Amino acid sequence: MRGINGSEIRLGRLFNRESGRSFITAFDHGTNLVVPQEAGKPLEVVEKIVAGEPDGVLISPGLLKQAGHAFAFRGAPVPILRADWTILEAGMKEQLGEHYRVLCSPQDALALGAGAMVMYLIMGPEGGTMFADNVAAVARSAGEAQRAGMPLIVEAVLWGSRISDKKDPDLLSHCCRIAAELGADAIKTEYTGEPASMSQVVDHCPVPVLTLGGAKGGSEDEVLEAARGAIEGGARGLIFGRNVWQADDVAKMSASLREAVHGTYARR
C-alpha cells in the first residue's frame, strides 16, 4: 500500500471526513483589490470569518502574521496562504498593465503556520512571457511544496486581457488541466454557470476542483444557487470571499454555504 505524504495529510485536513468536501472563506483581497472600509477592521473581519466555521481561510502573508491568534486553537479553520500577486484592480491594470510575481515560498508558508498555499495560473494575458513565467513559477513551487509537505492549490482562471469570456468551459477545463499537470494538489476556478458544463471541467481534471465566488453580487439566494450548482456539477467545495465577509450577516451566510457544501454534515 502506498504511503501518504505530508502534502496529502495537510490537504486532507481541509475536507470534511463525512461529506468529502470543503468550504473555504477567502480574505486575501487586500493584496490586489481595494477592500471597502465599511467591511470593517481587518483583524475583526478575520475573527468574524473564523467564527463562521469554514474549513479553511485563504489569507495574505501579512494578515496571517497579524491574525495568527485567530487560528491558534484546536478545531480552528486551516489557514491557507496566498503566495503570489497579480494586478486585478481595473484602474491599476489600465495604468500599469498585467504583471505577476511570486511572494512566498512553501517554506515561508510553513513558517507562518499555513496548512496549504494558493497560487494563480492566469490564462490569456496580453504578453506571452507573463503566462510562460507564471507556468514556470507554479511548476517550481509545486516541486518545492512537495518536498516541504505543503499542499499547493492553483487558482486556474481566464483573467488575461485576451480572453473575453472568463467562464468559457473549454478554456477553463484546459487551464485547470495545465495546473494539475504542473503539480497542483487541488484547483480553485470559476463556476461555469451551470452544473452540466461544470462537470466537464471537473471530469477532465485529475485533482479536486473547488469554485470561487468572485465579486459580491446578486441576492443571497443567487449566491446559494451558484454554490449548489457548483457542487451538483462535481466541485469538491467552494472558496468564497466577498459574498461571505461583505454579507449583512457573515455567520448566517457562512452557515448557509456550509449547508450547501456539506449538507447533513454541515457541522464539523
Q: Which amino acid is at 252?
A: K
Please tell me which residue in 166, 188, 216, 252 is annotated as part of the active site: 188
Q: Which parts of the chain fold into alpha helices (H)? A: 6-12, 42-51, 61-67, 90-96, 106-112, 128-148, 169-182, 195-203, 220-232, 242-245, 250-262
**Cα 140 from Cα 142, distance rounded (Å):** 5
Q: Residue 160 has which C-alpha cell?
A: 488575461
Number of neighbours of residue 264 by Cβ within 10 angstroms: 8
Angle at 59 between CA 128 and CA 206, to 5 degrees: 55
Number of neighbours of residue 16 by Cβ within 10 angstroms: 19
Q: Is 167 marked active-site?
A: no
β-strand pairing of 84-86 with 100-102? antiparallel
Quick one: 32 exposed, middle or buried, by C-beta within 10 A (0-12, 13-18, 19+)?
middle
Which among 26, 21, 25 is positioned nearest to 11, based on CA atoms?
Answer: 21
121 by DSSP, 3-state: which? strand
C-alpha separations of 171 from 33, 133, 160, 202 in Å:
25, 19, 12, 13
Which among 266, 267, 268 is positioned nearest to 227, based on CA atoms?
Answer: 266
Residues involved in catalysis: 188
